[in-house]
Amino acid sequence: MNGLKIENVVASSSMERKLDLEEASRILDGSEYDPEKFPGLVYRVKEPKTAILLFTSGKVVCTGGKTVDDARSSVNQVKDLLNDGGVEISNEIQVTVQNIVASYGLGADLNLNSVAITLGLERVEYEPEQFPGLVYRLRDSDVVLLLFGSGNMVCTGAKDIKDLENAVDHIKGELRGAGLIH
């Protein structure tokens, strides 16, 4: 969809075995591991630019990717580095998208008070003294939209791009139908 910009893909995976994070920190040059502060190891992949969190359970979280392929590539790079360093990891690891965050510009300023009334108070949270955006929860979807008076929007909670596209199409239809955007 034109104008929809992926800001962050969060994915999870598993190395299918327990990990010695001290050993992993020696293998993964530049990684950060301080169990007193955080129970996982943080490794920053340079290309694609992502951060990988490794836990002793073997669980992996990848954040910062701009595509699902970025997440897959980053997890596989770390797996390969660990294999090369003598930590035997299964060749096939599944990467599951947990959340995709995207931004979208509606191209017009919004009167958020009018939007709140139009969209129905049962699906809207709008407390401008607490937060400058309106939170809109779609029916039958995990996607949550944050709308701002500038007409910019943040979409979160999606597991795939189609969910994001459907959410944007839905909100645009509702706002157009109410005459709040053209």
- 66-123 pLDDT, tens per residue? 999 999 999 999 999 999 999 999 778 899 999 999 999 999 999 999 999 999 888 9
106-177: what fold?
TATA-Binding Protein (3.30.310)
Q: Provide the whole-model pTM.
A: 0.89
Report which of 173, 103, 96 is spatially closest to residue 138, judged by C-alpha positions.
Answer: 173
What is each CA distance from 109 to 24, 62, 116, in whole angstroms? 49, 34, 14
**What is the pLDDT, as a whole number, of residue 92?**
81
We find that the CATH architecture of domain 10-97 is 2-Layer Sandwich (3.30)
Provide CATH 3.30.310.10 ranges for the chain: 10-97, 106-177
Q: What is the mean pLDDT of the chain?
A: 95
Residues 95 and 23: beta-carbon distance below 8 Å: no
Is the pLDDT at 1 greater than 80, yes or no? no
Is the pLDDT at 43 greater than 70, yes or no? yes
